[in-house]
Structure 1
Amino acid sequence: MSETVAASLSRPSRRMSLALREGHSRGSLSYLEMGNPDGPCLVFIHGFGADLLAWHMCLVPLVTEFRLVALDLPGHGRSTLDVGDASLEAMTEWLDEALDLLDVREAGFVAHSMGAKIALGYALLRPERVSRLALIAPAGLGGVADHGALNQWLQSPSLERAEAFARRLAAPGREDLVRVLGAGMMDTVANPQRLDALRYLLNVNEGGAMPSFQSNATFNGGELTQLRCPILVMRGDHDVIVPPPHEGSLPLHSCIRLLPGVGHLPHMEAPREVIAELKVFFRG
């Protein structure tokens, strides 16, 4: 192999292209891979109702140092609509098989909201495969999440209801982001089967929303204090969706960064600050 060809194979890729992989027992796996193939791997897991493109402002600044893998969760994006029994166990088992399929043996994880809860569950299931956890507005660490506006939108989708929920996601004054989020949410439920999958994940039916692993359930007692990997939590001081972590819910070696003027979407509202924190954390 010539030196030119060898160099091109190891050169970080800035191209953001989606791929669809078959071979997963639950169905199609939609993912994005870019960056330095020889660098440490970072796996990005989006939140409820989003998809892997939610990370688009965070990926390119990291391509030089890291192999970057972003996934569409079941019921989201172009991945399988099979969400299993909608339990945390079903999601962590799906993730374990997905990482095997993509030849990810060990990685740091960057995860948002529901995705952060899945990442924590996965760290308990496969601690040897999780080097570090960067959790953005994580679910499952505090009290009951406020998903009233989301439940209303899922029961009867409309642009008005989508934008009403988007206003709760972002900090006040972000109407530009609200419009983008609202349009994206309507596109998400354009497929009736995907809408059914999302409803099932939140146990939303004609009678309203019932508690589910995504919306309300928290980890038990000192369950997460068993984790030995470094943990970074980032949350906005205007987050009205997910409450802050309960005292003692995380190991003592965890650190929490509060981002001023930011709501439930730090990676979209304050990407520069998030990227700076990620670089420091994963270089450590």
Structure 2
Amino acid sequence: MTRCSYHTVGPADGQAVVLLHAIATDSNLWSAQVPVWATAFRLVCVDLPGHGGSPDIDADLDLDGYADCVLDVLDELHIDTASLVGLSLGGMVAQAFALKYPARVRSLVLAHTSARTVEVVKGIWSGRIARFEREGMAAQVMPTLERWFTRSFAEASPLTLAWLSEQILRTTNKGYLSAIRAIQGLDHLDKLAAIEVPTLVVAGEEDSSVPPAAAAQIAERMANAKMLVLAGAAHLGNLERPVEFTEAVGAFLRQASR
């Protein structure tokens, strides 16, 4: 039995594509992409432990532990190989999976994510843990949304922000803290050269959490990677630039599946 809730969309005989979401969201984060990509691929939409419809967790998971959860899903579905599309935390999990289970990966999309958490950023996350322990999840909503989007998008998209607020609030306390600690432990940068599958690294031009220069470090360490920078987008480019993101990633997945 898997530790993740998941559902599949698209043709049963299509090339499998696993979608891995950001911290404090769930598989609904991909709502703009699923209807389009499902015309060509078998999408496996995963809720990471403690997020969305997945059960809460008993103990913290590191990134390898989250990768094991993804493996359980693929094994339950009898999927031998898949492409992984991960955003933010999901991109970190995708890296861990590709490093631990390289034979199970056809291609990777690493969006708005990093490969190493430096000490200053670890400290920032520790501050967020302290605020969470003092004030609870509700106090995390607005600061999180402010980091995720440009101001102009946020001001023009109140319904989208309300929708994401609900996802944040559905995240369990243990699921949130476990994800933060996994992010703090991220250190894949020097291992990325071992990943040989085609990889697309996606960055947001206005992403203060993972600036394009930080994302470029990932592409530079990988022999078979290329990079896409979404103009005017912050940390959730799949929502702020949905058509560009959907088409570019979809074209990459289609090419990589040939």
Q: TM-score, normalized by length of structure 2? A: 0.85
**1:113 is aligned to 2:82:** no
**1:70 is aligned to 2:45:** yes
Tell me by how many angstroms 1:104 deviates: 2.0
Give matches, 1:185-264, under 5 Å: 185=165, 188-189=168-169, 194-202=172-180, 212-215=181-184, 217-221=186-190, 223-243=191-211, 244-245=214-215, 247=217, 250-264=221-235
For the 8 Å contact 1:75–1:197, the answer to whether it is kept is yes
The count of aligned residue pairs is 247
**1:99 is aligned to 2:52:** no
- SS of the aligned residue for 2:147 comes to helix
Deviations 1:133-164 (A, max 9, x none): 01110132574546588546633136565123
Letter in 2 for 1:198: Y
The percent of aligned pairs where both chains have the same amino acid is 24
- d(CA) in 2 for partners of 1:142 and 1:188? 22
Tell me by how many angstroms 1:219 deviates: 1.3
**1:278 is aligned to 2:241:** no
For the 8 Å contact 1:36–1:66, the answer to whether it is kept is yes
By relative contact order (CA 8 Å, sep 6+), the higher-ranking structure is 2
- d(CA) in 1 for partners of 2:139 and 2:129? 14
CA 1:216/1:279 → structure 2, altered by over 3 Å: closer, same or farther? same
- d(CA) in 1 for partners of 2:242 and 2:232? 13
Letter in 1 for 2:132: L
**1:59 is aligned to 2:38:** no
Letter in 2 for 1:224: L
Unmatched tracts of structure 2, length 5 or more: none
- Which residue is equivalent to 1:129? 104
- Which residue is equivalent to 2:62? 87
- d(CA) in 2 for partners of 1:114 and 1:253? 22
- SS of the aligned residue for 1:109 comes to strand
Radius of gyration: which is bigger? 1
- SS of the aligned residue for 1:214 comes to helix
- SS of the aligned residue for 1:173 comes to helix
Q: CA RMSD in A?
A: 2.5
For the 8 Å contact 1:141–1:245, the answer to whether it is kept is no
Letter in 1 for 2:104: R
